[in-house]
Structure formats: C-alpha cells, structure tokens
Amino acid sequence: MKDSNKFKNITELPTGTFQVKFKVNGKDFQPYSNTLEEAIITRNDYYIKHNYRPAYLFVRMFDLSCISPRLEDGFQVNSRRLKDRKYMPRQFNSGVDANAFAIKWTKAYNAIAAIYNGKREVAFLEQIKKEQDHLKPFIQTGFCRDLWLESASEIFGQYIPEFFDDEMR
C-alpha cells in the first residue's frame, strides 16, 4: 500500500493556508481553508456527501470484456491470479472455452474484490476520522496484498482456486 506523509486532496499554499482540490467530471472544486483542520473537515464532508474516494483505494471489478481476440488464432482472457492478483493472462483456441473460463474466473475474482473493497471502505472511513482527530495523514491507497489474501480466504478458506494449472488448459 502507498503510505504518504501528505494529506490526500489537500495542498498547503505558500501563504500558509490550505486548498482542498477535487476534479469530478471535468469540474473543479477547490475551496480554501485557513487551517489544516478546516481543510480536513471540508475534504471529509466532500468525501462523504459526494461518495468521492481517492484513486487506487479500490480494485476494479472485471466483466467479460476481459476476453480479447489475439492477433493469431484464438482468444486471451486478461485475468489475475486469485491469491495475489498477479497478472496471468490465459490463452484459448476457442471463444467458447475462453468464455467458460472468464465466467468462472470473473465470478470468483469479483467475489473477492467485493469483500476487499468493502474492507477498504471501512478502513478509509476510519482513516479520514483519524486524520481529523490527529491532524496527521493516515489514508493509505494502493493494493494491499495481505488484505486481498484475507478477503480470498474468507471465501475459499486455505484452498484458493488456482485457475491456472495444467488441467484447466
């Protein structure tokens, strides 16, 4: 996970004041605050009211658009390993086989991602409160391998499906 000694979406200006910066759908929201505490409160209110989250807080869900035709014959499923999200594309000669794999894989992957993203949301809400209370940066973004593995284990226990062994080909 990315740990930073900077507050997300807050910039300290040379004048000693603070600016909260958001850009949503091409529109800027950039109020100024005299104190860091005011800036954090303004930012947190925006996070909650507009359901805005920092980039790289969540993992993306997949759908069947993860299947792509290859230049040579066949299809590729742009997939990730379930235990650690390592990129592991699978290649198939048949679109039917690629589709069957993608359906099974996306269902398993998205189930893990839903739990992972839910845990990240809970942690995020705790982190913004902590920032407001302590006036120190606490928000962590980026992928957390341990949290992903914990989320996968909630669904599959210690036997997380590989989907990439030889018998699947």
> Inter-axis angle of helices 36-49 and 95-134, to 10 degrees?
150
Q: Tens digit of pLDDT for each residue in 64-94? A: 999 999 877 899 999 999 999 999 999 999 9
Q: Tens digit of pLDDT for each residue in 22-52? A: 888 888 989 999 999 999 999 999 999 999 9
Helix, strand or coil for residue 158? coil
pTM for this entry: 0.87
H-helix or E-strand containing 19?
strand 18-20
- The answer to whether 59 touches 101, Cβ cutoff 8 Å, is no
